[in-house]
Structure 1
């Protein structure tokens, strides 16, 4: 069976290059990887007089996924897709999947579908709310608000929150690649993630030493998808917010396992009860 294409959706401020370590591992294992440059990660956030918002990111992810489902990377035949999302990227990454699961695609006479969505330290937020409202109406102190854009401090703030467990040189390389994020992402309504991704299996990679997304927020997200009737497979990475930089080999194996390979990831299985490592 042909391997699915891996569509990589970065989080706030991040770019596809942040996935490069994992991407190399996946490509060495025979996968084609496509990175999505989110429109919301930009120093020029105004388009036609408005701020770029979540819907723009949703559209970019959906276009990248549909391109692979319907035409493939130059093959012309289309490919199944696994969508891998990180942090904020889990919002547009799940909201972009309406009608792209196997059952919905079969009803349209399509032979390809999104076979899984991977969420790394991501969110399931109430539809219609805003990220700013979730953050209590103001940006966290590690954000620097510059006009229409926001970004983490390019220094201790970014290292302490995003890359707290990385080698200093590796952390600095990651910081150099960060982009600002449109303030409109924080003020635009959150789409209905659970409804849009209905029919697509969910796999969640929790990060045990995450300083950006607290452990409780990660477990609540897993519980939220399960409460919405989803069968969520989850594992725990001994990592801060960026396991694709801290433990890229194991992260790649998690994606490969989700994509259908029978292998051991090196991570522990997460249980709803909070007990990990059980078989």
Structure 2
């Protein structure tokens, strides 16, 4: 681990489980919030062209030895106030950053960290400034962090623009979630994010496939990466692989490709259950070289 500030911080952490942040026997850092023990899991984000590993998205879970903990937001978000939700949101980003960058296989990969919906309107100050200072203190490279803003309804358009401008002024790259392809075009033009994420829909692959291709071309002109999320079925994965033949860059993530785990995987490997599909979709030149 090359991050001197992070190494010093990890060495100073108390081992008592009553502390807000504490290490486990396997090196994982856990967090305490109310009576819940929180942990980090990371799901790979892969290139749609060759399945190479580009980044990870972090998720918070209740602590589990086998990484099968529950989504903590489902347990706590309705029971907590706005202030408590903002506190939990910030705690999770710190927890994820520590658990990600303490692992050697994190080198040269990006980390996607979510911003909870309540933070959009609950914080009146300078979004991102506090997290920027934390990263600097831990010597964690801010350029490797992508902050994900949540999907919005039309009445929140002003909020997403305000928060995005604040994070951008504080030096963060931004990912936005689009609820449909029409909103994707709007966000791409109006907010100009670094990354745009949307959920794959069968209608997108069939009747409206040309819209998706147009979106990929527009995003490429603006140096914006499109990520198709929740690719949870092999049929969806296989359909998306067809787009790689058009040389239109995009990325994918989902349980059909990789499940979320606490430990990062070998960045050079391709999931074994996808190798056959990948080879069958390759051109003769790609397959033999």
User: For this structure pair, what is the TM-score category when the shorter chain's length is used for normalisation?
Assistant: 0.3 to 0.5
- Which structure would you say has the larger RCO, counting Cα contacts within 8 Å and 6 or more residues apart? 1
TM-score, normalisation: structure 2: 0.35
TM-score of the pair, normalised by structure 1: 0.35
Q: Which has the higher helix share?
A: 2
Mark the structure with the bigger radius of gyration: 2
